[in-house]
Amino acid sequence: MISAVIHLANKDYASLIDDFIKLQILPPDSDRAAIIPLMDKALSPYVKGGGAKKYEEELKKLYGMDDDIQSQVGGFQAMTQDALTVLNDIPFSIPPYFAILGRAIVTLEGIALTGNPDYGIIMESYPFIARKLLREDRPEIQSALQEVLYSGSGGGALKMTRLLALLNNAAGAISTKEGAAFVDLDAVPEDGLEFSDGLKFLMSDNAESLRSLLEDEVDNIVDIICRQVLRKGLTEALVALTPPRPPSLPFIGNILPSPPALDEVPIPLLLPGSGGSAPSVAVLTIKDFIDLIAPKLDRDEEIYAISLGEAALEFFGEDAADFVMGESLLTAKSAQMVLGAIRSGVFGQQNELLNGAAAQQALGAVSSLLSNIGGEGGSGNLEKTLDESVSRLSDSERARLESIVQELTQRSINRATKRLGGVSRIIG
């Protein structure tokens, strides 16, 4: 039923047929091509709300029944034909449990319509459905949540817009499709949640289902961002460190050879061992090393990275989006953002390396210096947002955040060690 409300609110009638089959309203061998247009005509006016009076008005619009008698007769004939098709060609039935439930819903809807003539129970119940999706960690709820977040994504990746939209829907902010009263799963409401509200909800007991579903997904996000930052950051660093080409002399040309490309110069590197074996020294170019520890993103991952950048832009602004996309990394603002994240407490209080008094003083001094160099900008806003967001968490929510960050950090270290460990066995 939860899936049915989601599909009905999103006007996804093809999936709604599957829901009706599971609810035993329709048989498994239903004629989908015949049912979908009839569902559209029968259910779309109901979703828009307003009770029987508004439903009648919407039906007249659908069948082109204007004030003149000819259009009313033609519309009534078309409506009758559709009704006969439903009765004769579509073997639907209403299970007893569903009939009782439907009667209760109709009664509640009637009470609501006395206070609000435009009340629509499907759209009004959607925030409750969204909260239920995010909270309950049951297999059927997980399945429905996964369908919302992953369906229509092409490559099977998480759709960040849908995640942000669902979080807003749970808070009561819903973006509708243009010109209609249906939920737009792919649009984030303009007046939706602030980042601090979203973080608090994600760390609360009300998002257990979402956290379970996203555990591996967030690990994948961290990997994609790290690989992109490493690869693009290295490129910027090599360009900055490469000495300029010697000038050519008139009539003679280039006398001195061009400097070697820094990323192609072999250097000795200490690589971790694999499976507990001792570290070994390998001679690799920087380019080969980066290709090992941060493999190039494939096409689907690049598209996914773009959606991550858009999400960062939504919450933090252009500077954070550029950082997530790996753009302009060698700047004071980028360094400020990393330091700001550390100082805000996002990396947890159990990390002694970052929380010692001397370390905090050093971070403060460097951050102050970068503030003077980089001036005012989005990086300061990011640090302020993170600091305020973390400070709003309860003790249990903050402990949950710290545990997640530590787990993700350990996974990243293990992943990098594994990637490099295979090379040490070949070369070392």
Predicted model pTM: 0.67
Residue-level pLDDT at 38: 83
Residue-level pLDDT at 111: 93
Cα 354 from Cα 91, distance rounded (Å):
67
Residue-level pLDDT at 115: 92
Cα 219 from Cα 412, distance rounded (Å):
8
Nearest Cα to Cα of residue 175 among 215, 240, 131, 127: 127
88-133 tens-digit pLDDT: 667 778 888 888 888 898 899 899 999 998 888 888 888 998 888 8
Single-letter amino acid code for the residue at 4: A
Residue-level pLDDT at 272: 66
Residue-level pLDDT at 260: 65
> What residues in the chain have per-residue pLDDT under 70?
63, 66-89, 152-156, 178-179, 236-263, 270-280, 316, 328-383, 422-428
CA dihedral (203, 175, 15, 1) in degrees, to 10, reads: 60
Cα 222 to Cα 41, 102, 150, 218, 389: the distances in Å are: 45, 45, 18, 6, 20
**Residue 177, token pair as written in the block:** 């499709």
Residue-level pLDDT at 112: 92
Nearest Cα to Cα of residue 153 among 143, 163, 138, 144: 163
List all residues 6 or more positions away from 243 whose beta carbon is below 8 Å from its beta carbon: 259
